[in-house]
Structure 1
């Protein structure tokens, strides 16, 4: 890599780690949940009938099934999700967002949005936000296609 490419790569990696850590700490302080659980609740809230297969949650989060099983177990203990057998597949499981889980998500969302704004969006110009979106979509599409 050139010196500029190396500088950009290192700055990007450092910023992503710091941003993720900060968003996680802010969400923990405001809502008592890690960002990974928040993201799972968001995915479920946007799914038809607030329901997804466990395997789909693992795929969408690029996680191993065992990690999703653990996370869903913690969410289930909080009463935010429930597991149901997938009809027609005795080994398959569905994760369903409960009303309590939706309420927890709605309660956490304003603090999370404030944190994202404070530590990313509001630091950039509208043009930079647009560029960041384009760059993220290009990188995401490439990584999805190369799985």
Structure 2
């Protein structure tokens, strides 16, 4: 049997889970109320707006969003029906497809961004001092790197010799 967490670590874990869920719910509720976008919609639009050509291969976009391929397909299809993104064949090889930011998607992002930023400030950032912001950045950067590495090793472990 796995050893239990000590009282302080258990309290930290439970506090993190409850507060992060409340924060995510509040940010998403605010985003939907002011723009009609979900948090996933907004994140897709942000990622596409930041890359050259405002387009990403579906696999790369799924990786950045930490979405399964089927979840990304559903997300992009929903956004495509609303005119926020388009799905086009990859110009480099024609085999894969890319999600491409549309003019309507860029406009939706530009209109949503100030309200979302205000929500992020109100519900998180304005309550933190510089040392706390630096600590959160260090902690979650380190965890993110470790978890990305774990994802890579999980994929390696899942591929048995001879399966290639």
What TM-score does the superposition give when structure 1 sets the normalisation length? 0.96
Equivalence for 1:30: 34
Tell me which structure has the larger Cα radius of gyration.
Answer: 2
Rounded Cα–Cα distance in structure 1 between residues aligned with 2:45 and 2:78? 12
Equivalence for 2:114: 110
Equivalence for 2:88: 84
Equivalence for 2:55: 51
Contiguous gaps of at least 5 residues in structure 1? none
Rounded Cα–Cα distance in structure 2 between residues aligned with 1:89 and 1:102? 26
Contiguous gaps of at least 5 residues in structure 2? 152-164
Q: Supply the RMSD in Å over aligned alpha carbons.
A: 1.1
Aligned length: 147
Rounded Cα–Cα distance in structure 1 between residues aligned with 2:25 and 2:101? 25
Rounded Cα–Cα distance in structure 2 between residues aligned with 1:87 and 1:100? 22
Q: CA deviation at 1:20?
A: 0.7
Equivalence for 1:3: 7
What TM-score does the superposition give when structure 2 sets the normalisation length? 0.86
Equivalence for 2:103: 99
Rounded Cα–Cα distance in structure 2 between residues aligned with 1:89 and 1:59? 20
